[in-house]
Amino acid sequence: MSKYDTLNNLVTWWTGNGKPAQLKEALFTSDVAFDSGLETLSQDDIAWTAQNALPWLDVNILCTVIDGKHGAVFFEGVDGVSQLRHRVAWLVLFHDDKVCRVVSTVAILPSRLDAKEPLRGES
């Protein structure tokens, strides 16, 4: 699996649009760390969170960048739990083609119904 495929599969898996538990071994090294700024999750914590979350709606990958052992993916979607629209940036460190560290930044966006102007990229 290429690093691009790994990042796309990670977003799909995290947002609940692809839930096979065995995917965690294909995506992550055994010592992976997912740092949200509030907590750091291990591989088992990441898997539990993804498996137990409600699916996100209207997920759109905005950009994926790979440079050697570093990568970044930016996406938006509506969290199935909070029903809030999020813009997410993940900075990723790879070991081979597997994710060994993720640093996550999340911004809550105004809902489309409440927005006075369209979000960037929308007409």
Q: Which CATH number goes with the domain that contains 52?
A: 3.10.450.50
Query: Which pLDDT score is estimated for 24?
Result: 74
Say if 116 falls within a structural domain. Answer: no
| Whole-structure pTM value | 0.82
Q: Which domain holds residue 61?
A: 3-109
Q: Report if residue 121 sits inside a domain.
A: no
Query: Domain tally for the chain?
Result: 1
Instruction: Determine the Cα–Cα distance for residues 18 and 85; give it in Å rounded to an integer.
Output: 20
Whether residue 115 lies inside any domain: the answer is no
**pLDDT one digit per residue (tens) for the chain, 123 residues:** 899 999 998 898 888 876 556 677 788 998 999 999 889 999 888 888 877 888 999 999 999 999 999 999 999 999 888 889 999 999 999 998 899 999 999 999 986 555 555 555 554
Say how far apart CA 75 and CA 67 lie, in whole Å.
18
Q: What is the DSSP letter of 22?
A: T
- Burial state string for 81-93 with b = 16 or more CB within 10 A and e = fewer than 16: eeeebbbbebebe
Q: What is the per-residue pLDDT for 92? A: 97
- Per DSSP, helices labelled H in 15-120 are 23-27, 43-52
On whether residue 77 sits in a domain, the answer given is: yes
